[in-house]
Structure 1
C-alpha cells in the first residue's frame, strides 16, 4: 500500500506495483489498484459491471492484469517512457 506524507496508508497502488503484477490477480488486489472497497468490488463483479475483464475460477474471481493496466492507463505510460 502507498503512504501519504504523514505516513498514513492510502488506497490504490503505485505505478511500479501495478507493473510488477502477474498476468491475473485476485479480486482484492484488483480492488486495491482501482481504489474500490471490498463490498463494492464484489458487487460490481457479481453484476458484471467490474471495469476490467474478470475470469471466474470456481468461486473465485481473477482480474486480467492487462485490462487493469489499460483501464488505469499504465500500459500507455510504460510505452511512453521506453
Structure 2
C-alpha cells in the first residue's frame, strides 16, 4: 500500500502515537467535614431579552450546598 502511495506521490497517513502517562495518579481527597473545602465556578447565561448575566457560584464540596450565588451583569 505504501509503495502505491509513493508511486502516485501521495502522502501516507501517519498513525497517532499513544500518550504515555507521566506518572502515577493519586485520587483526590474528599473533605471529611463541612466548610473544609469550597469550589468556585463562573457561569454565563442570557436573559430572555438577550442580556448577558454572569454568576459566581461557591459550593461546599462536603455537603454539595451552594454557599453563595452572586449574579451580576459585570463581575
Q: Would you say same fold, with TM above 0.5?
A: no
Higher helix share: 1
TM-score by length of 2: 0.23
Q: Which has the larger radius of gyration?
A: 2
**Structure having the larger proportion of residues in strand:** 2
What TM-score, normalized to structure 1? Answer: 0.22
